[in-house]
Amino acid sequence: MSPASSFALVAVLAPALAALVLAALPALRRQGTPAAMLCIAGSLGAFGAALAALSRLAHTHTPETWSRPWLQAAGLSLADVGVRVDGTSAPMLVVVTLVALCVQVFSLGYMHGESREAFGRYFAYHALFLFSMNVLVVSPNLLQLFAGWELVGVTSYLLIGFYYRKPEAAHAAVKAFWVTRFADMGLLFGLLALFTASGSFGWEAQLSPAVATFVTLMLFLAVVGKSAQFPLHIWLPNAMEGPTPVSALLHAATMVAAGVFLVVRAAPLFAQSETTRAVMLVTGSVTALFAACLALVQTDIKKVLAYSTCSQLGYMVAALGAGSVFGGFFHLTTHAFFKALLFLAAGSVIHAVHSNEIGKMGGLARRMPLTGGAFIIGALALAGVPGLAGFFSKDLVLEAVEGKLGSLPWIALLATAFLTAFYMGRVVFVAFFGAPANDHAAHAKEHGWSMRGPLVLLATLSVVVGYFGGDLAHLGGHAYHFHFTGGAALASGLGLAGIGLAYAVYGRGPREAPAIIATVDRIAQSRAVNRFYEFGFRRVTLVAADALAWIDRYVVDGLINMTGYVTLALGSRARKIQTGEAPDYVLAVMLGVVAMAAWVVVQ
Amino acid sequence: MNALAHGASYGALIILTLLTTVAMGVWFERKFAGRMQSRLGPTMVGPVGLLQSVADVVKLLNKEDIIPRDADRGLFTLAPVLAALLSLGAAAVVPFSSTVVAADLDIGVIWVVALGGLTVIATFAAGWSSNNKFALLGAMRGIAQSVSYGVPLVLSVLVPVILAGTMSLSGIVAWQTRHHWFALWPVIPGLPALGLFFLAMLAESNRIPFDIPEAESELVAGVTTEYTGAKFVLFYMAEYVHTLVGSAVASVLFLGGWDGPIAPGLHWMVAKTLALFVAVYWVRWSLLRYRSDQLMALCWRRLTPLGVGLVLLASAWALFAPGGPA
Amino acid sequence: MTLAGCLTLAAALFSLGVYGLLTRRQAVAVLVSVELMANAANLCFVAFSRFRGDVTGQALAVFALALTVAEVAVGLALVILLYRAHGDTRVDLASEMKQ
Amino acid sequence: MEGTFFMVLAACALVPAWLAVRGANLIHAALWLGASLLATAAVYAMLGASFLAGVQVLVYVGGVITLMIFGVMMTRRHEGLVALAESRHQGRAAAIAVTLFAVIAQAINATDGLDAPLSAPVSANGSALGRALVVDHVLAFEALSLLLLAAIVGAVVIARRRDPPDAREAEVPS
């Protein structure tokens, strides 16, 4: 077993160990802080191991796989389980463990007010999540990836529903679960088709065009669900009912990126289908633009960020659809840092002002300079301001999309870039500048170092990570070298313009929203997509279910009940044979004996 | 046919002898009891009352043969006949000397024990058919007692069988003639086994101190309450013969049978048998009757475990002792 | 004396036992019939043992004998129980299982 | 001579057997069963199984019949000793028994080689039987011992009275 893969294995098993201990020892879990420490230790170990694996890989530049056959039957194994360390999984592993570590440390402060029992439970879920995500990331084939995929789905469910006494949270958890589960059917079908066609769950199989299209479309369905792409994005805003650090970790940086990661992972498959990539390109750009529009009008800071996440994931998907695997992956990496940063900063703000509404904030930059600075750095990175992480990756995406499908996606993404800058500017100006909206905002204070430390770390990374694009590309065997082009200038210009517009609109205190924004707001309020699903559910699914229920009750059950009645009737007749008197039974036995003996003799 | 003739002639001889011995035995017992109780016993009929038994028999045979109205006539008649036949039948396999034996069966031991066990049937038939509650109670007690004491009896009999390695009575005697009497060596399973056999035999033949089926102070005369005349004679005789045959079997099994110095074998055998017979009377006129539950407790809690222990010891002896049975 | 004779005798005894088993209602009488059947089976064992010149048949008969004794012991215990429960020992009285 | 003797014994077995299964009197039935078993024992002896014959008399006639009678007496009131209650299956039972006998007899008839005179007795002194019991079939022997023990314990437990007997009262095996 080579060093890199053993490090990766440690990265998987360290949080697993923590989760196992916390599951097996409820007494320890209910202690709260020790459980949290154990969980963070696990994450720290995982992060260290991931870093070691990455450096090892950077040294050798050789992908490594360690695996064991699984589900053996008749000398064949269905698939392998193990770890694979290559240019995709190693950086992803580092990103995941690092963000998880930051979020967990942040949570120490953020979740401080919870009861000790809930505190321990929270961290136990976190450890389980990290384990699941790592399983997904390092998997050497798509079957293990599927297992990790479902595991993170479960932990997502658990963490969204963390405040399970709150009806909205429980509802959101169920919604997220069902929507992603619907999408996961695609993954299952895709895997089955892949296995049928190629006999394995590897992502390097060569498939016929039709099969490749089917398989990748099915996989993409799962991506749409997990990465909250239009039209299955509806669960992500609701998922904001979970604790804010959870949103930062699962629903911004890591889990939702798993969909993108899947496409990156299975790039050889996706490369075989032009159709799927076109679908991805369209879906990605539509999602990016659509979600950005919705983000314009949200008043809940977390929902702004949630739609922003949708939008950025749309960017990544569009990049992948355009054929730029590295573009998508790079944006995934940078986005993970600055979006986690944004969410944690938002969490810090929310913790201070006890509200999610940006209208109830204001002037926070002065009272919480570190948080405000971190949020602004994140917002600038997201807006694609030159020099920050988002700029490089977004530029790469735009470059990839340019010219595809009549340039419509490119235009959409450019518009998105503008809108992104605008809505982030809106949030920044409304929440962090101007006058405090109320007493909470006026007396907001910075929190302890457990919350400030991760912000500083992530802010730093949001600034610098863009410059490592070349190394990242080199690790994955891609060619990338940044050069400032006209497209980049256009994008950053649009971003700056968006910020400027936001300043013009919101910079000097709250003001009546422009007419166009009000229109978008009205459209958003109509919840068209959700209502479409509700219609589909109530009118189609429920009616069909009612019809099926009728058939089940009166036809299927009727048959069964009839069987029962007939049996009963026969039984009450047959019961008369059972006199309960031994001589009668003996008589029957003897009849049988005589009959058998006679049969034998006659034979 | 020769064997058959041999068996028949010796059988007749043995039966006659037994019956004579019974008659003499009754006289002897009465004299013996009289002496024990500081009285004379029979003196009037014949010299020293020797013909008293004959007179008694004649008297009994002349008595009216009464069958109670509600009795089960068939069984009532069958019972004494069966009792007499069984006790005499047991005598058929007992070797009185190396030649004086009616049927030298290879499973003589089992024959004796089995017929002894069958006596129960006769006891029961008598008690039940009499339609008399004393008789029935006596029969019930008799059955419980016989079935229970059958166990230590068989166990004690197994000791010589194991040591000699044969179930033939004459074979056992022959082994003792060649080696030693079982009552003397190996003394630990041998002598206690003799005691056990003696006690179990007393119980099986309903003799004092185990005469609970009769128990004249409680049950009038037990199973024989309703019997008179010839049937009573048969019962009486059967009981005597049973005791006599039991004594003979004990001699054969434990005391070397016809083995003895100087005198002919038959004399030794008769002497040993009569000695044991006298011992039975000695006990009868010395001891009191046991209570029914005490009797059972003695059997199951004392004698049966003892018997098992003796059988185990005998087995160990047969396995490990030098010069054991072939 | 032939094997056929012994077997026919056994068959007759067995059939009589069957007849008794089917007609008798008294628990003890049922036991009597069962014993008759078991005895018939034993007779077959012994006859075949002689026929084949193999002592195994007799061994089987001994086993069967012991089994029968055990059966009678338990059976009579049940009869006594039946008597305590019903004051009678007719087997058709013991039909509580019918309900 | 032997054949005649066998015929007589067979009659001695069958007639009491008939009386045992038909007799109205339970006690008589048990005793008739004993008689039938005695006759069977005699057949055993004729077949050279003298040990088995002895055991048959000892165990069956001396033990089983006695137990049965004991059982009858323990469970019947004195006036109720007559087993009047006959089953309603008379005709069917007779038909079954006759058919069974016919079938078996037919099977015996149809099989060749059963009419040959029987060979020499297999065991003269029981030692071969003993060896078969405790050497060849020792496992069955031990299992049977266990069964007997279980039967004894079971019978005692089933038949014992609910209220614990007086300490002085010994348990009567039944």
The full set of domain ranges for chain B reads 56-320
Distance (Å) from the alpha carbon of B79 to chain D's nearest alpha carbon: 12
Q: Do the domain assignments include residue D97?
A: no
Set of chain D residues whose Cβ sits within 8 Å of the Cβ of B142? none
pLDDT in tens, B172-188: 888 888 888 888 878 88
For residue D4, the domain's CATH number is 1.20.120.1200
pLDDT confidence bin for C36, thresholds 50/70/90 = very high
- D105 — contact with chain A (CB < 8 Å)? no
- Optimal mutation site among D47, D108, D144, D161, interface C, most CBs of chain C within 10 A: D47
Tokens at B88, concatenated = 């005499």
| d(C-alpha A128, C-alpha A22), whole Å | 10
| d(C-alpha A509, C-alpha A526), whole Å | 28
Q: Are D26 and D82 in contact (CB under 8 A)?
A: yes
Set of chain D residues whose Cβ sits within 8 Å of the Cβ of C27? 75
pLDDT of residue C38: 92
Distance (Å) from the alpha carbon of B35 to chain D's nearest alpha carbon: 37
Closest chain A residue to C91, measured at CA: A582
Q: Indicate yes or no: CB of D66 within 8 angstroms of CB of B110.
A: no
For residue C91, the domain's CATH number is 1.10.287.3510
Q: Closest Cα partner for A505 from A436, A438, A437, A427?
A: A427
Q: Indicate yes or no: CB of D62 within 8 angstroms of CB of B293.
A: no
pLDDT at A4 over 60: yes
| Mean pLDDT for chain A overall | 84
Q: Do the domain assignments include residue D69?
A: yes
Q: Indicate yes or no: CB of D73 within 8 angstroms of CB of B136.
A: yes
CA distances from A337 to A374, A577, B306, B315, D94 (A): 12, 80, 93, 92, 97
Q: Indicate yes or no: CB of D21 within 8 angstroms of CB of C32.
A: yes
Q: Which of A336-345, A546-555, B55-64 has the highest mean pLDDT?
A: A336-345
- A587 — contact with chain C (CB < 8 Å)? yes
Domain count of the fold of chain D:
2
Closest chain A residue to C14, measured at CA: A590
D in contact with C (at least 3 C-beta pairs within 8 A): yes
- C85 — contact with chain D (CB < 8 Å)? no
| d(C-alpha D25, C-alpha B75), whole Å | 12
Distance (Å) from the alpha carbon of D170 to chain C's nearest alpha carbon: 17
Domain count of the fold of chain C:
1
Q: Do the domain assignments include residue D150?
A: yes
Q: Closest Cα partner for B288 from B201, B236, B217?
A: B217
**Cβ contacts of residue B280 below 8 Å, gap of 6+?**
B202, B207, B243, B247
Residue D11 domain boundaries = 1-76
Q: Indicate yes or no: CB of D64 within 8 angstroms of CB of C35.
A: yes
Set of chain C residues whose Cβ sits within 8 Å of the Cβ of D86? 23-25
pLDDT of residue B311: 93
Bridge-based pairing state of the strands A64-73 and A76-85: antiparallel
| d(C-alpha C4, C-alpha C22), whole Å | 26
Q: How many CA atoms lie within 13 A of B190 on its CB side?
A: 19
| Spans of chain D below 50 pLDDT | 78-80, 167-171, 174
Better-predicted residue by pLDDT, A40 or A481? A40
pLDDT of residue B159: 92
Residue C79 domain boundaries = 3-97
- C10 — contact with chain A (CB < 8 Å)? no
CA distances from D54 to A275, C14, D45 (A): 98, 22, 8
What number is the average pLDDT over the span A353-363?
A: 80
Q: Indicate yes or no: CB of C98 within 8 angstroms of CB of A579.
A: yes
Q: Indicate yes or no: CB of A579 within 8 angstroms of CB of C95.
A: yes
Distance (Å) from the alpha carbon of D111 to chain B's nearest alpha carbon: 35
pLDDT of residue D125: 59
D in contact with A (at least 3 C-beta pairs within 8 A): yes
| Mean pLDDT for chain B overall | 83
Distance (Å) from the alpha carbon of D107 to chain A's nearest alpha carbon: 6
Tokens at B114, concatenated = 């089995």
Closest chain D residue to B298, measured at CA: D170
pLDDT of residue C8: 92
- Tell me, what's the ipTM? 0.71
In 3-state terms, what secondary structure has residue A357?
Answer: strand
pLDDT at C25 over 80: no
Q: Indicate yes or no: CB of C39 within 8 angstroms of CB of D37.
A: yes
pLDDT at B205 over 70: yes
Distance (Å) from the alpha carbon of D64 to chain C's nearest alpha carbon: 7
CB-based burial of residue B59 (10 Å sphere; 0-12 exposed, 13-18 middle, 19+ buried)? exposed
Better-predicted residue by pLDDT, A446 or A18? A18
pLDDT of residue A267: 86
pLDDT in tens, A399-439: 888 877 778 888 888 888 888 888 888 888 888 887 777 77
- A206 — contact with chain C (CB < 8 Å)? no
pLDDT of residue B192: 92
- D70 — contact with chain C (CB < 8 Å)? yes
- A588 — contact with chain D (CB < 8 Å)? no
- A479 — contact with chain C (CB < 8 Å)? no
Q: Which residues numbered 44-73 in C keep a CB inside 8 Å of some CB on D?
A: 46-47, 49-51, 53-56, 58-59, 61-63, 65-73
pLDDT of residue B303: 92
Q: Indicate yes or no: CB of D89 within 8 angstroms of CB of A587.
A: yes
- Optimal mutation site among D40, D65, D148, D172, interface B, most CBs of chain B within 10 A: D172
Q: In degrees rounded to 5, what are phi and psi of residue D113?
A: 85, 5
Pick from D67, D115, D128: which is nearest to C2 by CB?
A: D115
pLDDT of residue C96: 60
Pick from C22, C30, C96: which is nearest to A587 by CB?
A: C22
